[in-house]
Amino acid sequence: MTKKPLACVILAAGKGVRMKSKRPKVMNELLGWPMIKWLLESVRHLEPDRVIVVVGPGMDDLVQAVHPCEAVIQPQQDGTGSALKCAMNLLQRFTGDVLVLLGDTPLVSPETLWNLIQARRQESGIGISVLGTEVQNPTGYGRLLMDPEGNIAAIREEKDASPQEKMVRLINTGAFCMDGKRLERWLGSLTNRNAQKEYYITDLPEIAARDGYKTCVSVTFDADEVRGCNTRAELFALEKIAQRRMREHFLERGVTLQDPETVYFHFDTVLEEGVIVEPNVYFGPGVEVGEGTRIRAFSHIEGVKIGKNASVGPFARIRPGSELGDDVRIGNFVEIKKSKIGDRCKISHLGYVGDCEMGEDVNFGCGAITVNYDGFEKHTTIIGKGVMVGSNANLIAPLIIDDGAFIAAGSTITQNVPADALSVSRAKEEVRKGWAAIYRQRKTEKKQKKAS
């Protein structure tokens, strides 16, 4: 997207103390994806020359999550200015633009970041551009204080702001684009003379002004995309925003959501045009649903690819590692786990299919199950094309049922079944006439004896 040199520094050393999280703050998830991943995805569209993530000591999982981006440790968490200094150790002699972002502001769009970069590049005398937005209640945010020419005179953190400055509604979002040629020198002038005794990058506009460089503001009118996240409540607010955007995304692409606010998505959900999703459906990670398929109410689906014109649910659970073919019918209270289900198969109700390879046109009856676990290992059931599995059948894996075979209802099958055969495995039925009446009489007499 850009031909000029661009480096991106993401400040992500926060411990997540206010979240009461043992993980680094930016590793907490939105739509099943760590916050830092959302931000890195937006940055990727800018095609920067380098991406550096500033992390805290011991954050090995965060370092792994941002790979192959470079990570640098901030030994002591004493402010954003100190964090940026750590990154500058890797950017010596870099003369391009340095985009500085906060890792806990994950929903900012590539377009907004690009506008921020362009704002700094519009004039040679602009040393810094700041991403700002206007909010009704600016409590807790740093205020952007403007000079008469429309440039930023200062950024005032709330704890250091005067009562009059606190009335300003134009706030700092924490995103900056800075002149890389001069940034190291400006950082050297930072002090910690403030209420927090920390080094703030928000002091840089005043330092740049003393050096003869202006700071401009790039305003986004979508305050949701620049929301920060320090608490579980704020994480919940971001989740609501991200879910709403996903719902709008699918509605715009021809997906029917009968009650959108009750449907939950993961970041990688794929729904093709013409899909219908009924209320109260949860899509976990790794779900792809083909054109014209209907997902019925109260279904839980994750790690599955579903073909075209299928029907799943209601009250179905499809677990990871599964693949459902075209025109498949999965009914109520059916669970599928790590199985491949062929085209036009019907598993209509109250069934379990685990570790199974099922051919086309199979009818899997009510209450039938594949018994795939022997207490130590999982085993596979292979079912051929056109097989009929009767109700309440137990298929004990490992097992092969060949094309066209019939499994009689109520059977427990332990041996392979050849093509077009009938397999029946039932205990001999015995009828004892009058037994029930005698049994009830004995129970009644025993009860009366106890009562007396």
The verdict on residue 242 lying in a domain is no
- Does residue 35 sit within a domain? yes
- pLDDT band at 18, cuts 50/70/90? confident
245 occurs within a structural domain: no
Compute the Cα dihedral for 286, 292, 293, 294 and give only its sign: positive
Asked if residue 169 and residue 88 are part of one domain, the reply reads yes
- Same structural domain, 33 and 150: yes
pLDDT for 314 equals 98
The per-residue pLDDT for 37 is: 97
Residue 356 tokens, joined: 């199974």
**Do residues 214 and 92 both lie within one domain?**
yes
pLDDT score at 246: 97
Average pLDDT over residues 242-262: 98
How many angstroms separate the CA atoms of 155 and 164, rounded? 14
Residue type, 322: S
The per-residue pLDDT for range 405-427, each reduced to its tens digit, is: 999 999 999 999 999 999 999 88
Statement to judge: residues 211 and 281 lie in one domain? no
Q: Do the domain assignments include residue 94? A: yes
Residue 379 lies in a domain: yes
Please report whether residue 231 resides in a domain.
no
What is the average pLDDT score of the chain?
94
Q: Examine the domain organization and report whether 348 and 332 are in the same domain.
A: no
User: Domain holding 365: CATH number?
Assistant: 2.160.10.10
Query: Would you tell me the crossing angle of helices 80-88 and 180-187 to the nearest 10 degrees?
Result: 130
Catalytic residue among 45, 249, 266, 349: 349
State the pLDDT confidence band at 298, using cuts at 50, 70 and 90: very high
Q: Indicate whether 384 pLDDT > 90.
A: yes
Confidence class for position 130, pLDDT limits 50, 70, 90: very high
Q: What pLDDT is stored for residue 403 in this prediction?
A: 97
Each residue's pLDDT tens digit, 21-71: 889 999 999 999 999 999 999 999 999 999 999 999 999 999 999 999 999
Read off the pLDDT band of 1 (50, 70, 90).
very low
Number of domains in the chain: 3
Picking from 303, 338, 373, the residue at the C-terminal end of a domain is 338
CA–CA separation, 362 vs 380, rounded Å? Answer: 17
Tell me, yes or no, whether 37 lies in a domain.
yes
How many C-beta atoms lie closer than 10 Å to residue 84's C-beta? 27
Above 70 in pLDDT, residue 75? Answer: yes
Residue numbers of the domain that contains 116: 6-226
Number of alpha carbons in the 13 Å side-chain half-sphere of residue 248: 6
Rounded CA separation 70/13 (Å): 14
The share of the chain scoring above pLDDT 90, in percent, equals: 86
**Mean pLDDT, residues 119-144 taken together:** 93
Q: What angle do CA 385, 387, 393 make, to 5 degrees?
A: 140
Residues in the chain: 452
| Shared domain check, 201 and 324 | no
Which pLDDT tens digit goes with each residue over 26-39?
A: 999 999 999 999 99
Mean pLDDT (whole number) for 79-99: 92
Q: State the Cα–Cα distance between residues 174 and 229, nearest whole angstrom.
A: 12
Does 45 participate in catalysis according to the annotation? no
Q: Quickly tell me which residue has 């999965």 as its tokens.
A: 330
Same domain, 161 and 264: no
One domain for residues 222 and 287: no
Same domain, 316 and 358: no
Does some domain include residue 235? no
Task: Answer whether 0.75 is exceeded by the pTM.
Answer: yes
Q: Are residues 387 and 415 in the same domain?
A: yes
Average pLDDT over residues 379-394: 98
The helix/strand/coil state of 185 is helix
- 398 and 277, same structural domain? no
Query: Residue 72 belongs to a domain with what CATH number?
Result: 3.90.550.10
Determine the 3-state secondary structure of 18 from DSSP: coil
- Of the three residues 226, 242, 274, the one that is the final residue of a domain is 226
Work out the percent of the chain whose per-residue pLDDT is above 70: 100
139 in the same domain as 33 = yes
The Cα–Cα gap between 16 and 9 comes to 20
pLDDT tens-digit series, residues 306-358: 999 999 999 999 999 999 999 999 999 999 999 999 999 999 999 999 999 99
| pLDDT above 80: residue 3 | no
